[in-house]
Structure 1
Amino acid sequence: MVYVKWTFRVVVLVLVAAFLHYTLPQRDIVRIVGTENRRVDFGENSWFWAAPDAGNATTSERDVFIIQTVYPNGNTMEFRNEDTGWGWPPYFKLDTHSLQTEMADLVSTAEEPKWVAIKHYGWRNNFYTIFPNAVGVRAVAGPDVRLIPWTNIAILTALAALLLFAWRVWVQFRERTIDPLMDDVEVATDEARDRARGVWGRFAGWLGTWRGKPRK
């Protein structure tokens, strides 16, 4: 039973961590090397794509903006550029086309690099062909600039405070309501057991009166 309890806790913790890692904003310092408009037919990976641009119809296929980038170490990364609208995650992004123009203006070469910080959420997975969604971009001084994730710090601090508050409320509710009830149930159970033993003792004594006296 203990293993089941800890397994359940670990699974819940992993799911919550994966949800936060996918949803919370991240920033990558990269060099933009190209932008394109790609036709995408959605299949099993449709969960990992955002809704169509605001005002456009929902279909099983549509054009999606793609940003091609290179990290300072030479590794590559592709980002999609889609509106999030009023859905989840709540980035309220409605400026896909403007952002694509900014990205195109920041394209650079290895000889004359322009380093930028792309703010995004989501994952890159080659097997399911999914891409993180870019929600913002800004130029930075160089590839070694240090960026502090103030937004994530604020959100995680607020979540921790909310969880602590919920835990304290639960502890007080248990101490004031559940524990007294459990004590009453335990007392009632003990009393019932004692009464049952008393009844059985009297019944056993009554049976004893029916036994014959031992012969001499």
Structure 2
Amino acid sequence: MRYIKWGIFLLLALLTFGFFHYTLPQHDVVRIVDTEVRRVDFGENSIFWASPDTGTDTAANRDVRFINAVYENGRVMVYRNEDTGWGWPPYFKLDSSNLQTEARDLASTSAAPQWVVIRHYGWRNEFMTIYPNAVSVRAIAGPDVQIIPWLNIIILTLLVLFIFWLWRVWRRFKERRIDPVLDDAAEAWDSVDERADAARDSARGFWGRMMAWIGTWRSKPRE
């Protein structure tokens, strides 16, 4: 049971980590090389795509904006640029077309790079064709700029405080409600055990006396 308990705990911890890692904003320092619009047919990975632009119809396929970028080390990254609307995650992004224009304006070449910070959420997975969703873009002085994720720090700090509060509430509830019931049940069980032991001892004494009495009936061996 202990292994099952720790297995469930580890699974919940991994799910929680994955949820926050996907949902919380991340910042990439990159150079935008191009922007484009592609027609996308949604399949098994449809849960990793956002809603259509606010005010448009939902369809099995639609045009999706993309931002192509390169890291300082030469590794490429592709972002989708979709509205989140009023759904989840709660970024309330309604300006995908404006963001696409800003990204196109900040595109540059390796000879004259313009470094930018793209704020996004989500993952990039080539095997499942998953792209992070760009939320904002802004120009910076160079690729060595340090970005401090203040929002993530605040959210995670509040989460830790909330978990600690829940733990305190649970401990108090357990001490006041559950522990007394368990103590009463343990005392009742001990009392049952004591009565059972007494009954067993009494039965053993009775049968012992009975067997001794029967033994007196047996004929004694002749001398």
User: Alpha-carbon deviation of 1:196?
Assistant: 2.1
Task: Determine if the alignment matches structure 1 residue 95 to structure 2 residue 95.
Answer: yes
Task: Determine if the alignment matches structure 1 residue 57 to structure 2 residue 57.
Answer: yes
Q: Tell me the distance in 2 between the aligned counterparts of 1:143 and 1:191.
A: 74
For the pair shown, the structure with the greater C-alpha radius of gyration is 2
Matching residue of 1:167: 167
Matching residue of 1:32: 32
Q: Tell me the distance in 2 between the aligned counterparts of 1:111 and 1:117.
A: 19
Aligned residues: 216
Could you say what secondary structure the match of 2:134 adopts?
Answer: strand
Task: Give the partner amino acid of 1:199.
Answer: A
Q: Tell me the distance in 2 between the aligned counterparts of 1:108 and 1:119.
A: 18
**Matched ranges for 1:1-216 at <5 A:** 1-208=1-208, 210-211=210-211, 212-214=214-216, 215=218
Segments of 5+ residues of structure 1 without an aligned counterpart are none
Task: Give the partner amino acid of 1:132.
Answer: P
Between the two proteins, what is the percent identity of the paired residues?
Answer: 56
Could you say what secondary structure the match of 1:65 adopts?
Answer: strand
User: Alpha-carbon deviation of 1:49?
Assistant: 0.4
Q: Tell me the distance in 2 between the aligned counterparts of 1:204 and 1:157.
A: 65
User: Alpha-carbon deviation of 1:2?
Assistant: 2.2
Query: Cα RMSD over matched residues?
Result: 1.4
Deviations 1:196-215 (A, max 9, x none): 22233344444456542524
Q: Tell me the distance in 1 between the aligned counterparts of 2:151 and 2:128.
A: 29
Could you say what secondary structure the match of 1:44 adopts?
Answer: coil
- Compare 181-190 and 194-203 and name the one that shifted more: 194-203
User: Alpha-carbon deviation of 1:103?
Assistant: 0.8
TM-score (norm 1): 0.95
TM-score (norm 2): 0.92
Segments of 5+ residues of structure 2 without an aligned counterpart are none
Q: Tell me the distance in 2 between the aligned counterparts of 1:74 and 1:208.
A: 92
- Compare 141-150 and 199-208 and name the one that shifted more: 199-208
Task: Give the partner amino acid of 1:78.
Answer: V
User: Alpha-carbon deviation of 1:5?
Assistant: 1.9
